Amino acid sequence: MFDKFREECGVFGIFGHAEAAKLAYLGLYALQHRGQESAGIAASDGLRMRAVREMGYVNDIFDHATIATLPGHLAIGHTRYSTAGDSALSNAQPIMIDCVHGQVAICHNGNIVNANELRESLVKQGSIFQTNSDTEVVLHLYARSQAGTFDEALVESIAHLTGAFSFAILTKDHLIAARDPHGFRPLALGRLGEAWVVCSETCALDLINATYVREVEPGEVIVIGANGLQSIRAFPPAKLAHCVFEHVYFARPDSEVFGQSVNDARTNLGKLLARETPVDADVVVPIPDSGVCAAIGYAEEAKLPLRFGLIRNHYVGRTFIEPAQSIRHFGVKVKLNPVKSILAGQRVILIDDSIVRGTTSRKIVKMVRAAGAAEVHLRISCPPTVSPCFYGVDTPRRSELIAATHTLDEIRKYVGADSLGYLSLDGMLAAVGARQQSYCTSCYTGQYPVAFPQDRNAYLQLTLKLDGTPAPVPEEEPEGVV
Ligand code: SF4
Three-class HEC string of 44-108 = ECCCCEEEEEEECCHHHHCCHHHHHCCCCCEEEEEEECCCCCCCCHHHCCCEEEEECCEEEEEEE
What stretch of H or E contains 448?
A: none
CA of 470 to the centre of ligand 1 (A): 22
Choose the residue to mutate in 8, 353, 391 for probing ligand 1, maximizing ligand atoms within 8 Å of C-beta.
391
Q: CB of 155 closer than 6 A to ligand 1?
A: no
Residue with CA closest to ligand 1 atom 5:
243
CA dihedral 141, 146, 150, 156 (to 10 degrees): -50
CA of 91 to the centre of ligand 1 (A): 23
Atom of ligand 1 nearest to the CA of 164: 5
Cα distance between residue 247 and residue 452, in whole Å: 25
Q: CB of 109 closer than 6 A to ligand 1?
A: no
CA of 392 to the centre of ligand 1 (A): 8
253-282 burial code (b ≥16 CB/10 A, e <16): bebbbbebbbbbbbbbbbbbbbeebeeebb
437-469 burial code (b ≥16 CB/10 A, e <16): ebbbbbbbeeebbbebbebeebeebbeebbeee
Is 417 within 8 Å of 378 (Cβ atoms)? yes
Which of 5, 189, 173, 204 shows the shortest CA–CA distance to 74? 173
Tell me the pTM: 0.91
Q: CB of 440 closer than 6 A to ligand 1?
A: yes
Name the average pLDDT for the chain: 90
CA of 427 to the centre of ligand 1 (A): 17
Burial label for 209, CB within 10 Å (0-12, 13-18, 19+), is exposed
> Distance of CA 272 to CAs 226, 351, 364, Å?
48, 13, 23
pLDDT of 394 reads 81
Q: Which residues are catalytic?
A: 9
Cα distance between residue 181 and residue 199, in whole Å: 17
Q: CB of 184 closer than 6 A to ligand 1?
A: yes
Q: CB of 414 closer than 6 A to ligand 1?
A: no
Choose the residue to mutate in 7, 179, 393 for probing ligand 1, maximizing ligand atoms within 8 Å of C-beta.
393
Residues of the chain with pLDDT under 70: 1-3, 6-7, 82-87, 317-321, 434-436, 452-482
CA of 442 to the centre of ligand 1 (A): 6
Cβ–Cβ contacts within 10 Å for residue 344, how many?
Answer: 13
pLDDT of 471 reads 42
Residue with CA closest to ligand 1 atom 4:
389
Q: CB of 442 closer than 6 A to ligand 1?
A: yes
Which of 145, 140, 124, 34 shows the shortest CA–CA distance to 79? 34
Give the model confidence (pLDDT) of 290-340 as tens digits. 899 999 999 999 999 999 999 998 777 656 667 777 777 777 888 899 999
Cα distance between residue 372 and residue 299, in whole Å: 21
Cα distance between residue 188 and residue 13, in whole Å: 10
Cα distance between residue 107 and residue 93, in whole Å: 6
Choose the residue to mutate in 257, 428, 440, 462 for probing ligand 1, maximizing ligand atoms within 8 Å of C-beta.
440
Sign for the CA dihedral angle at 261, 205, 354, 288 comes to negative
Cα distance between residue 193 and residue 211, in whole Å: 9
pLDDT of 460 reads 52
pLDDT of 450 reads 86
Cβ–Cβ contacts within 10 Å for residue 48, how many?
Answer: 11
CA of 446 to the centre of ligand 1 (A): 10
Q: CB of 244 closer than 6 A to ligand 1?
A: yes
CA of 396 to the centre of ligand 1 (A): 13
Which of 432, 384, 77, 80 shows the shortest CA–CA distance to 243? 432
Sign for the CA dihedral angle at 229, 232, 237, 242 comes to negative
Q: Is the peptide bond before 86 cis (omega within 30 degrees of 0)?
A: no
